[in-house]
Amino acid sequence: MHLAYLLIGSNLGDKATYLKNASSYIQQQCGQIVKQSSFYETEPWGFTEQPSFLNQALCIKTDLAPTQLMHALLQIESLMGRTRTIKMGPRIIDLDILQIDQQIINTPLLQLPHPAMHLRRFALIPMVEIAPTLVHPTLNKTMTQLLTACSDETNVQKKIV
């Protein structure tokens, strides 16, 4: 059994419904959701000429190996209608694995921990909400410490939906 931390997001259409639907699919196909953060409205990061995102962090218990989990998440994205046209562009749903246990993986399909997690407030703020003392396996800092040190200035606001 693994503890996997995911970040889910959407910036098209009914974002909250897409996140709720994605959570249902994850629960059915990947494992039990044991913690979930609030929803956060965030400015786009990277490619900024697009609508704001709604993001949420999830912690799941899963029997799936990391690559199996990644394939399952990609299938859920496809099932929900995600198409990849512009790198970092607008999307109905985005499902990312941030960390699984203390595993370090570097393959073309999957990099763990997520290589940019520590650079992005929109990932760290919801992670601090659900796992403030979780230690990053390569940086050896807690999520709270990473957020304190993060230089990202994008706006991230808790959103009631």
The residues annotated as belonging to the active site are 82, 91, 94, 96
Per-residue tokens: 29: 């196909």
Considering only CA atoms, which of 90, 100, 99 is closest in space to residue 44?
Answer: 90
If you ran DSSP here, which 8-state letter would residue 135 be given? B
Q: Which of 45, 48, 55 is nearest to 93 (CA)?
A: 55
Instruction: Give one word for 23, left, alpha or beta, with left for phi > 0 and alpha for psi -120 to 50.
Output: alpha
Decide: 81 and 54 in contact? Cβ < 8 Å: no
Q: Which residue has the tokens 């994605």?
A: 22
Residue 23's SS3 state is helix
Q: Cβ(4)–Cβ(60) under 8 Å? A: yes
